[in-house]
Amino acid sequence: MTSTATASGAVRSTIPARLDRLAWSPFHTRLVLALGVAWVLDGLEITIASSVGAVLGQADTLAMSATAVGAVATVYLVGQVFGALFFGRLADRLGRRNLFMVTLAVYLGGSGLTALTLGHGTGAVVYLLLTRFVAGAGIGGEYAAINSAIDEMIPAPYRGRIDIGVNGTYWAGAILGTLGALFFLHALPPALGWRLGFLLGPVLAVVVLYVRRNLPESPRWLLMHGRAAEAERVIALVEAQSHQSGRALRPVDDSDAIEIRPVRGGYRTLLRVLFVDHWRRSVLGASLMITQSFLYNAIFFTYVLVLTRFYGVSADNAPLYLIGFALGNLLGPLTIGRLFDTVGRKPMISGTYILSGVLLAVTAYLFDQGVLTAATQTIAWCVIFFFASAGASAAYLTVSEIFPLEVRAQAIAVFFAIAQCFGAIGPVLYGHLIGAGTNPSRLFVGYLIGGAVMVVGGIVEIVLGVRAERRPLESVALPLSALTGKAPRRAGDIATGFSS
């Protein structure tokens, strides 16, 4: 074993270094496929809910008012915030694996129960809203538990591209949701179609729940919570799979070890870490999360309104344009995500934020001049969000790797909640600017605001960004349990020093 007790009762271990020196193996592929589906489910859920809104207002379904239909999305987002904060605390306390099993089960139950909404009265509407809250809570909890698990178990050279790619798969879910809604709402009676649409996610969740049951706990989490023997067993199994794949593992020197004495990170510890010890990083994380959330919520939730009111696209055909928009968002993280590991976090995050903001301003001018069509507007948005999507995904990566392991999931939850609260302003503001679709100059100003917000996020990254590419997590953010003054570094790390 490479985890040994010292004379002072602490534990000295090379487990973090052993995790980071691993080459890619089938274990990592299974890990990503099993955990990364959370974002697919979120994209699917939000798209389905948006698509069935008009159907839920019909007399033969639930006869909901426009306000009640809007509340369906709002309650889901509130559930996400609650789930992130509640389950994020538990993920740090009870473990990543325990929580990513629980949160997926919560989502499965909430969304599955949504499809069982019966009746047409107030009771049915209340029941629907409650189930959407539960489903949102499950997905919110997934964000905190899974971002932590992925970052702690993926080798440092791959961490950026994998985390960004996984977050970007939200848009794969949006595409699946759009296609599902088009089929279920057009090929089946509305009263049946909207219910079957909400069952798409739970069907996928059942399969993933089965796959996840064989995933281990994060060895890093086990080590930092005094369970070194369990951590050794997990890392030995992962290394064995690498050997079976024919991949040679370089030796790990004792100088790569970290010495720790486990500590418990409660709410007081979290507040100290976020607002005293690493307040600059908190400003960075909040800035990146708020700016991308504002832009995305503003554009995505009013996308159909722009197409129908300014370009005359029928409500039935609007989802087809959404597929193109989603493809641009999906391709960005999947194609340029690796550059966040090679070129570096600061230049790529700041570059994608600022470039997408500038491109949005240019597109806003063309929109105001009336030279765009529904097709060219969609193409323009595809280009803008090709870069914005990679940057937004990197925001989640940033908040999950720049804080100590003991409070990592809680930190993710806090910034996710903050972003959702500020992001909720976007749809309201842009919906007001769109109005009846008779004054494009009002929306032109709104687009300029959105572009400026993204540029601000990019500037904050330039000033406060952390060079985390290819560095061990313990070097990016020293664990609270660590007894040494600085974390060990591996050969090949390109950043220098411990940036605060």
What does the pLDDT profile of the chain (500 residues) look like in tens digits? 566 766 566 899 999 999 999 989 899 999 999 988 888 998 998 888 877 877 887 787 888 876 787 788 888 889 999 999 999 999 999 999 999 999 999 999 999 999 999 877 889 999 999 999 999 999 999 988 989 999 999 999 999 999 999 999 999 999 999 898 888 888 888 888 889 999 999 999 999 998 898 899 999 999 999 999 999 999 999 998 888 777 778 888 888 899 999 887 778 899 999 999 999 999 999 999 999 998 887 787 777 778 888 998 887 788 888 899 899 999 999 999 999 999 999 999 999 999 999 999 999 999 999 999 999 999 999 999 999 999 999 999 999 999 999 999 999 999 999 998 888 787 778 778 888 878 889 889 989 999 999 999 999 999 999 999 999 999 999 999 998 655 555 434 433 333 33
Query: For residues 316 and 1, what is the distance between their CA atoms, to the nearest angstrom?
Result: 62
Tens-digit pLDDT profile for residues 333-366: 999 999 999 999 999 999 999 999 999 999 999 9
pLDDT at 314: 83
> What is the dihedral sign for C-alpha 162, 165, 170, 173?
negative
Among 393, 400, 425, 394, residue whose Cα is nearest residue 415:
400
Query: For residues 480 and 56, what is the distance between their CA atoms, to the nearest angstrom?
Result: 50
pLDDT at 36: 87
Query: For residues 26 and 160, what is the distance between their CA atoms, to the nearest angstrom?
Result: 19
| Contact between residue 197 and residue 180 where contact means Cβ atoms under 8 Å apart | yes
Place of tokens 């990513």: 100
Query: How far is residue 166 from each of residues 43, 97, 242, 403, measured CA to CA in Å?
Result: 12, 18, 22, 20
Query: For residues 435 and 230, what is the distance between their CA atoms, to the nearest angstrom?
Result: 59
Residue 400 tokens read as 């999950």
Among 295, 303, 293, 281, residue whose Cα is nearest residue 452:
295
Task: Report the SS3 class of residue 23.
Answer: coil
Query: For residues 333 and 352, what is the distance between their CA atoms, to the nearest angstrom?
Result: 11
Q: Which residues pair with 258 in a beta bridge?
A: 13
pLDDT at 500: 36
pLDDT at 10: 85
Among 204, 99, 203, residue whose Cα is nearest residue 141:
99
Query: What is the DSSP code string of 417-461?
Result: HHHHHHHTHHHHHHHHHHTTS--HHHHHHHHHHHHHHHHHHHHHH
Mode of pairing for the β-strands spanning 11-13 and 3-5: antiparallel
Task: Report the SS3 class of residue 256.
Answer: helix
CB neighbour class for 23 (10 Å; exposed up to 12, middle 13-18, buried from 19): middle
Query: For residues 54 and 39, what is the distance between their CA atoms, to the nearest angstrom?
Result: 25
Query: What is the DSSP code string of 335-357?
Result: HHTTHHHHT-HHHHHHHHHHHHH
